[in-house]
Amino acid sequence: MKIAFVNWYNVDEPYSGGKLRILNLVKGLGSNNNVILISPVCNSANRASELFRQIPIPIDIARKIFGINIGIFNFFIPFNFVKSYNTLIRFKPDIVISEHIWSFIPALAAMKKIDFLLITDTHNIEIEYLNSKFGISVYSKIVRLFEKWILQHSDLIIVCSKREKEIVNNLYNLSSQNIIVVPNGTSLDETLLIEDSTKTFGDKKTILFIGKLDYGPNRKAVDYIVEKISPRMMENNPSVIFVIIGGPKPPILAKNVVFTGYVHDIKPYLRSADICIAPIFSGSGTRLKVLEYMAYKKPVVSTSKGVEGIDGMENHKNVVIADDEDSFYDAISNLLNDSGLRKTIGCAGNDLAQKYSWNRIVKDFQQNILYCLTKGVNK
């Protein structure tokens, strides 16, 4: 099959959940299909890969110069729209996958000239995210209408969880047959469960959080760690440090919090972490970071929102769920004081992560789209 992915933001440095999702789907399908990725790039070189070919478009000017994230409008810029449209026409794909609703416009235009299966990968429910961050506003009402229009014009919609399938179905009155769940996953085959002989931060117990820090829910998580949890830990257990991986690096100072910024290889940090945390209180989609933690057999302390949409989560069995400051702090303290409990929950989490292997997810996804191509979809 010939498959074209269209994506509005760059995936040069896959440090966020969305970028990891896109690259794993692209590479997975690229192993036995002819795949291209139309996407912005931060540098002049195409992403080198044996599994797919990247068609670069310029990253948006505001993002590049001022750091303002208005990249959602990348495909509304005439040059980017025309290049993407012409690429699709020349490539003549069997399938086009629009990553997020904001990548949809060139694909819809090309569909008027050539025939292909048009799939929208939602990543999250955009209106749910906006309402949780800003409340109901004129902008969110416009986005809701846009999201509804996009999904109604898609042949197939993929969501990250059963919960989101129900919400999309009810919110936009769409046929559930045209909505399939393609969950976030983890690359278990690349996960090296090797205990480091030397810990990254010496003898200190390490609590790890990973996230793209210009994403609102992750930034709120950092504020929660720095303002609520780390001061109590400093007072009661000063040998413990919180390590936060991701950027951009915020101008925050705390004695027991280390900001690494972006790192090229997170494996040493994951291997040497004692506990991983996900204090997420808003947003949509599922958190890839939680599955990554579990793939490394790390005990996870999370809010309910942080593990939302991941089937099989059981409190105090394969994860510890805590939704307020006291219980979150106590959960971390209990795990720090009990190495046996850390191992038990970490191993149970790894058992769950095995079900979310990207290899398995991509295989199921390909079977679904092959079925749709042969049997057709209900428009």
Q: Which pLDDT belongs to residue 77? A: 82
The residue with tokens 């990725």 is: 37
CATH of the domain at 33: 3.40.50.2000
* Total domains present in the chain: 2
**Residues spanned by the domain of 175:** 2-185+358-375
CA–CA distance, 109 with 119 (Å, rounded to integer) = 14
Q: Which pLDDT belongs to residue 125? A: 87
Same domain? 175 vs 198:
no
Same domain? 352 vs 362:
no
Same domain? 23 vs 134:
yes
Structural tokens at position 159: 């969501």
Q: Do 52 and 35 meet the contact criterion of CB atoms below 8 Å apart?
A: yes
Same domain? 164 vs 238:
no
Q: Provide DSSP, 180-232.
A: EE----B-GGG------SS-TTTTSEEEEEE--TTSHHHHHHHHHIIIIIHHH
Q: Which pLDDT belongs to residue 66? A: 46
Q: Which pLDDT belongs to residue 304? A: 96
CB within 8 Å of 195: residues ≥ 6 apart: 271
Task: Centre a 10 Å sphere on the Cβ of residue 263 and count the other Cβ atoms it contains.
Answer: 14
Same domain? 52 vs 110:
yes
Q: Provide DSSP, 263-326.
A: -S--HHHHHH-SEEEE---S-SS--HHHHHHHHTT--EEE-TGGGTT-TT--BTTTBEE--SHH
Q: Do 360 and 366 meet the contact criterion of CB atoms below 8 Å apart?
A: no
Give kind and range of the element (H or E) at residue 117: strand 117-121
Task: Centre a 10 Å sphere on the Cβ of residue 333 and count the other Cβ atoms it contains.
Answer: 15
Give ∠ CA 107-366-290 in degrees, rounded to 5.
95
Angle, to 10 degrees, between the axis of helix 126-134 and the axis of helix 138-152? Answer: 170
Q: Do 16 and 215 meet the contact criterion of CB atoms below 8 Å apart?
A: yes
Same domain? 35 vs 159:
yes
* DSSP letter (8 states) at residue 357: B
The pTM of this model reads 0.82
Same domain? 137 vs 266:
no
The residue with tokens 């291209």 is: 36
Same domain? 107 vs 140:
yes
Cα distances from 193 to residues 267, 292, 319, 350, in angstroms, run 9, 12, 19, 11
Sheet (strand 2-7) strand order: 53-58, 34-41, 2-7, 95-99, 117-121, 156-159, 179-181
Per-residue pLDDT of the chain (379 residues; tens, 9 = 90+): 999 999 988 777 656 778 889 999 999 999 999 999 999 876 544 454 666 888 887 765 545 554 445 567 788 888 889 999 999 999 999 999 999 999 999 999 999 999 999 999 998 888 887 777 777 788 888 989 999 999 999 999 999 999 999 999 989 988 888 999 999 999 875 545 555 545 667 788 999 999 988 888 899 999 999 999 999 999 999 999 999 999 888 888 889 999 999 888 888 999 999 999 999 998 766 688 899 999 999 999 999 999 998 999 999 999 999 999 999 999 999 999 999 999 999 999 999 999 999 999 999 999 999 888 887 665 4
* DSSP letter (8 states) at residue 95: E
Same domain? 54 vs 160:
yes
Same domain? 208 vs 342:
yes
Same domain? 294 vs 326:
yes
Same domain? 24 vs 171:
yes
